[in-house]
Structure 1
Amino acid sequence: MKRRCLVLAAAAASTAVVVPPAWSHHGWSSFDQDRPLYLEGRVVSARWQNPHAELMIEVSPDLKVPADLAKRPLPAQSAPVDGPGLLAKATVPRRNDRQWELELAPLTRMEAWKVQEIKPGTRISAVGFTSKDEKGDAVMRVEYLFVDGKAYGLRSSPA
């Protein structure tokens, strides 16, 4: 019995543990919520999993805030968000990265909004926040997502 336990312990110790790679997860405190950004582009890749869905998009080098952005209708959310104010203040990033990682909401919230899984090739636009100094990775935490003519507020659930 003792020998059997030793053999099992040795086998377990010699087995390599394989951990799949994961995209990095960023804490929310590092995002500048006083400076909303506007991005639009074509989805290059999508990860539809927790802790939140993520999109990688390719943006045009001549990205501009659309003239009608501040007038777009926004859905009501359960959290108090000044959506029209955010859209009115949105600017394009100062940095000129062609690809951006967009952090969306957890899957349960995406399901509450009835957002279908977004596939590569889809054109989307978003308003959200990046790091306070715009240094490091080109990552946006999305506040409002616009897909196929629909707007989704990702801070909270639908009201």
Structure 2
Amino acid sequence: MPSIVRPLLRPALVTACAALALAALPAVAHHGWSTYDETKPMTVTGKIVESHYENPHAHIRIDAGGKRWLAILAPVSRMEARGATADKVAVGREVTLVGYASKEKANELRAERITVDGKTVELR
């Protein structure tokens, strides 16, 4: 390859590598579900005391009989597509969650489904 072409390829190669590395960051930042105990499904009913309708996963905190649970829900786009809009998971709403408790964090669960106003929405 002529010597004048090689220096021109280096910036393009560096730019391409940087773009690929940045594109991979969301995948690295995303967590897996192996930290939740799928052998023991649980049901929790309570009032929402905190709601975060944001990506990568919406999450709510509910007060269930004096115990506070952090519930990891689905991505916002999936929740909206299935009818679990922000107003359905707003503070003050009563919900029933079916999911799996965290193996590592006390009072945290990954919700598989949520019931609000008598309507059940599958989150996975």
TM-score (norm 2): 0.70
Distance in 1 between residues matched to 2:41 and 2:108, nearest whole Å? 13
Deviations 1:100-134 (A, max 9, x none): 001000011001102121211100001000124xx
Which residue in 2 is equivalent to 1:129? Answer: 100
Structure 1 unaligned regions, length at least 5: 1-24, 62-97
Q: Deviations over 1:2-31 (max 9, x none)?
A: xxxxxxxxxxxxxxxxxxxxxxx8631111
Over aligned residues, Cα RMSD in angstroms? 1.5
> 5+ residue gaps in structure 2?
1-29
Q: TM-score, normalised by structure 1?
A: 0.55
Q: Using CA pairs under 8 Å that are at least 6 residues apart, name the structure with larger relative contact order, 1 or 2.
A: 1
Tell me the secondary structure at the aligned position of residue 51 of structure 1: coil
Q: Is 2:83 aligned against 1:111?
A: no
Q: Is the 8 A contact 2:36 2:102 kept in 1?
A: yes
Q: Which runs of 4+ in 1 moved over 2 A?
A: none
Alignment: residue pair count: 93
Contact 2:42 2:101 in 1 (8 A): yes
Amino acid at match of 2:57: H
For residues 22-62 of structure 1, the C-alpha deviation after alignment (integer angstroms, 9 at most, x for no partner) is xxx8631111111101101000010000011100000115x
